[in-house]
Structure 1
Amino acid sequence: MSGMSGMSGMSGMRVRSPGRTAPASVANTPVHYINGVMPVMDQNRYFHGLLDEFEARYSGRGGEFRYDAQSWYGSDYDKLWLKSEGTVGTSGRFGDGDHEALYDHAISRYFDLQTGVRVDIDSGPTRAWGAVGVQGLALYFFDLEATAYFSDRGAAARLQGSYDILLTNRLILQPQAELNFYSESDRARGVGTGLSDIDAGLRLRYEWRRKFAPYIGVTYSGVFGQAAAMARSANTTVHNVNFTFGIRTWF
């Protein structure tokens, strides 16, 4: 995590006890300076991609496919972060399409500040938002994201969290939840004021390889308040519990 930036810089340091000299093999090793500055590991640039959810969901009412992916490029302190998620129903309609491009800056050992844009692109009307939030590891190593959005249509907020429970070194149980709030309703996109929708799940994955983990689980998706009234008038599902299976991978 970028929040560990405060630790990664120490890997580029060598501590020498008072009164002792470095071994000749170390003392004679040439150091290649960059612009007159000794290189430090936390200034290196890296790329990381995570396909956190790539899954099929089934219930008595039908099924859908869902994905949730993110990637970043940069150093321990500054990154470009891209996020995308969405669903595809049995009708082939693409919904819940949320795509974000964010500048990310480490503000503490465990949290980053993120700011940028969000664009809702799917089978419904397109909406654009400004975004600002935090992402990182909360107390007891909960993965946490809290983001506020703003546009000429009002404001919105999203709170996401997950936690890995290691049953064994490779078998991991992950509870997860995402809550979305809006200050104004948008009937064209099926969102209402206040708490509009929740997507949550309990997934059990097995890390066959560290970068490849199939999983099964139970997921819940529901809409509330005005969004629920809109769903009922459109004769669509308000609350849905699904059997879920998919894969999680990163590189």
Structure 2
Amino acid sequence: MMRIASLTWVAICAIATPGLAQSMPGMDMKGMEIRPQKPKPAARKAQSKAAPRHKAPVPAGDMRGMDMSPPARAPASAPDHAGMPGMDHGGMAGMDMSGPAAMSGPAGTDLPAGHDPAPPLPADHYADRFFPAEDMGRSREAMMREDGGQTIHQILFNLAEIQILNSHAGYRWDSEGFIGGDINRLWIKSEGEGTFRDGVDSAEVQALFSHAIGPYYNLQAGVRQDIRPTPSQTYATVGFEGLSPYEFETEGALFLSTKGDLLARLEAWYDQRITQRLVVQPRVELNLSAQDVPQDRYGAGIVDAELGLRLRYEIKREFAPYIGVSWERKTGRSAECARADGERPDQTGFVIGVRTWF
């Protein structure tokens, strides 16, 4: 009887021994395969010396010979900053992150405003280390001349047209040309009009020296010579020409004759593009006189005014035929002189011409 009890006890212990591991609280080892943890590449060499490699996986439920301790860590490669002064490892409270440590004062836009002259331009050129200085000097001089220092020229016929005004046909021209640089130029201007029946009624030529007073305006001074009507007159001239805001071309001048007569002229026009080739140009011109000039049939005040509208088609930028309308009106004593001469003080007509430059 005692022998049977002993065998029964041994059988019960043998059956209960594997279940001890499964009955551990919080652990379910059923079907679990324990694999060794692979070390990181950087610490593999160090770990191989510190801990042996794991053997083959242990079958589930067999805890014999298993090392449950955490894997050995590789030695830290970062330097020890514990000895650095001013470094607080508890939140880095002692470190000043407000700016570069090398800055001891204001710089850049933080500097106070002043009027010190600009620093001098560098006198040395890197290319001079590899090429003769004389050759590089000539090259730089040619570059400056070609990029703004060269002499340029142009001749422009802004108006070259036939006018059909009231009952007669006539013609008119307004041209100018210049030669010079970006700052100083010599201008030659000419304008006039006439009829096919009576010839040239008025014609003038101006020779002016022009000096740029800004990026958009030139100040001009010179002489004006009237060829028609006779007798001819000579005027001292001072004026301006340039591009006003909103791209209005403007031109004005004062004329003082050798007899003391003071005249003035104002012109403005605007090129409005409808397409890349089709352009409409409104134009206004005023002529004024400070006193009566009987020989020229002028009266004091506004002598005459002209409003025009021309539509041109640019076959090329340099060649653009146009059509349009023009209205002219004389006022004051000038209108009275026109009536006394049997002329109408106002005229409206059709114009056809070409605008060209080269």
Question: Post-superposition shift, 1:221?
Answer: 1.8
When normalised by structure 2's length, the TM-score is 0.60
1:140 aligns with: 246
Q: Please state how far the C-alpha of 1:59 moved relative to its aligned partner.
A: 3.1
Deviations, residues 164-211 of structure 1 (Å, cap 9, x unaligned):
000001100000111111112222222211100122310000000110
Q: In the alignment, does 2:328 pair up with 1:218? A: no
Aligned partner of 1:250: which letter? Answer: W
Is 1:115 equivalent to 2:221 in the alignment?
Answer: yes
Partner SS, residue 256 of structure 2: strand
Contact kept in structure 2, 1:97 and 1:121, CA below 8 Å? yes
Match of 1:33 in 2: 138
Deviation at 1:154, TM superposition (A): 2.3
- Give yes or no for contact 2:318–2:356 (8 Å, CA) kept in 1: yes
Partner of 1:65: 171
Larger radius of gyration: 2
Give the deviation of 1:108 after TM superposition.
Answer: 0.2
Q: Is 2:182 the counterpart of 1:76?
A: yes
Give matches, 1:225-240, under 5 Å. 225-240=332-347
Higher relative contact order (Cα pairs below 8 Å, separated by 6+ residues): 1
Please tell me whether the aligned partners of residues 162 and 351 of structure 2 are also in contact (alpha carbons under 8 angstroms): yes
Aligned partners of 2:182 and 2:198: how far apart in 1? 40
- Range moving further from structure 2, 40-49 or 166-175: 40-49
Q: Is the 8 A contact 2:151 2:180 kept in 1?
A: yes
Cα shift at 1:84 = 0.3
Greater displacement, 121-130 / 196-205 = 121-130
Kept after mapping to 1: 8 A contact 2:261/2:293: no
- Higher strand fraction (1 or 2): 1
Q: Which moved more, 1:93-102 or 1:222-231?
A: 93-102
Match of 1:92 among 170, 185, 198: 198
Paired with 2:200 and 2:249, the residues of 1 have a C-alpha distance of 27
User: Partner letter of residue 183 of structure 1?
Assistant: A
User: How big is the shift at 1:87?
Assistant: 0.6
CA distance in 2, matches of 1:124, 1:61: 25
CA RMSD of aligned residues (A): 2.3
Task: Return 5+ residue gaps in structure 2 as ranges.
Answer: 1-124
Q: Does residue 209 of structure 2 align to residue 103 of structure 1?
A: yes
Would the aligned equivalents of 1:57 and 1:242 in 2 still touch at CA under 8 Å? yes
Partner of 2:304: 197
The 2-side partners of 1:108 and 1:238 are apart by 40
- Structure 1: where are the runs of 5+ without partners? 1-20
State, as a whole percentage, how many aligned pairs show the same letter.
34
CA contact (8 A) 1:69 1:83 kept: yes
Q: CA deviation at 1:32?
A: 5.1
Secondary structure, aligned partner of 1:121: strand
Displacement of 1:60 in angstroms is 3.1
Deviation at 1:133, TM superposition (A): 1.0
Pick the aligned partner of 1:243 from 342, 345, 350: 350
Structure with more of its chain in helix, by fraction? 2
CA–CA distance in structure 2, aligned partners of residues 112 and 200 of structure 1: 25
Q: Secondary structure at the match of 2:335?
A: helix
Give the secondary-structure state (helix, strand or coil) at the position aligned to 1:227.
helix
1:48 match: 154
In the superposition, the TM-score normalised over structure 1's length comes to 0.84
Counterpart AA for 1:154: D
Task: Give 1:65 shift.
Answer: 0.4
Q: Which stretch of the first structure deviates more once superposed, 110-119 or 186-195?
A: 186-195
* 1:178 is the counterpart of 2:285: yes
Q: Note the C-alpha offset of 1:93.
A: 2.7
Whether contact under 8 Å (2:266, 2:286) holds in the other structure is yes
